[in-house]
Amino acid sequence: MKKQQKSKTILTVVLSIISVIYVLPVVAVVLNSFKLNTYVKTHTFAIPTGEMWAGFSNFIKGMTFGNYPFVKSASYSLLITVVSTALILLFTSMAAWFIARVDDIVSRAVYYLCVFSMVVPFQMVMFTLSKTADNLHLNTPWTIPVVYLGFGAGLAIFMFVGFVKSIPLEIEEAAAIDGAGPVKTFFQVVLPMMKPTMISVGILEIMWVWNDYLLPYLVLDRTKYMTIPIHIQFLKGSYGTVDLGATMALILLSIIPVIIFYLLCQKHIIKGVAAGAVKG
């Protein structure tokens, strides 16, 4: 018993240290967003007091820097995130239900292709994707969600299929006996039961799309459209100088919504993953 307690204590200490290491970059962003630029590099983890204190000037400078307003970048990020997540949840849940219930050679092939897409590095397809997106006119905030749908389908279908297989088929048969067609059965019977996994997938996709830098950078026309990560990357002065204080301030503004959203919904991630892992 004492040996088991000792093992738990050691594990707790190790995990606590790892947690602190992961939190340190966030702490550094918070501290440096309120520091004058000259002290960001020399006093990275110092508390911004006295002559180091910059107040909210870094936030004002970052939001008003250049000719592209930060509010516009934030609105594009919000639009892309909401539309992309909605498309992923709707189409992948329907596809997963079809794959799980039909279960023939074609649906299995589609399923394994979706799972395989999860292990293909984005760097392998990014140049071809950029060219294809230009040719198909998918290089705007209103059309790039189609690209996100393709990249987000793998994880979503994998989780949804696992959950659908755990739903008793008799429930759907009862709906069919009552006269419900496939569309009505899905939206009125199956979809409400998929809520735990739907919330879990939605959280993961929102965090991914909101923070994504590379895909919008390659696909969008940067002279017209910028998301928050791209806007932060262009926060440079003459000769490539970077105002680190203003950069940290914008990074803080970009991560606050995601952190709040995640803290409010984190319990649903565990529920969704557990629900989708009942059957294979």
Give pLDDT tens digits along the chain (280 positions): 667 787 888 888 899 999 989 888 888 888 888 988 888 888 888 888 888 888 888 888 888 877 778 889 999 999 999 999 999 999 999 999 999 888 889 989 999 988 888 888 888 888 888 888 888 888 899 999 999 998 888 889 998 998 888 888 888 888 888 888 888 888 888 888 888 888 888 888 998 999 999 899 989 888 888 999 988 887 765 556 777 888 888 999 888 888 888 788 777 666 655 555 444 4
- The DSSP string of 234-245 is T-B-GGG-B-HH
Q: Dig out the tokens for 208 from the structure.
A: 């991914």
What residues contact residue 76 under an 8 Å CB cut-off, 6+ apart? Answer: 141, 225, 226, 227
pLDDT at 240: 60
Gap between the terminal Cα atoms of the chain: 36
pLDDT at 275: 55
Domain borders along the chain are 22-55, 70-276
Just give the CATH number of 70-276.
1.10.3720.10
Helical residues (DSSP H) of 35-166, grouped into ranges: 37-40, 57-64, 70-102, 105-117, 126-135, 144-164
pLDDT at 144: 93
pLDDT at 81: 95
Residues 45 and 32: beta-carbon distance below 8 Å = no
What crossing angle do the helices spanning 144-164 and 105-117 adopt, rounded to 10°?
120
3-state SS string for 136-187: CCCCCCCCHHHHHHHHHHHHHHHHHHHHHCCCCHHHHHHHHHCCCCHHHHHH
pLDDT at 37: 83
pLDDT at 280: 43
Q: What is the rounded distance in angstroms from the CA atom of residue 161 to the CA atom of residue 183?
A: 17
Q: Dig out the tokens for 159 from the structure.
A: 């989780």
* Global pTM value: 0.85
Residue 48's φ and ψ, nearest 5 degrees, are: -70, 95
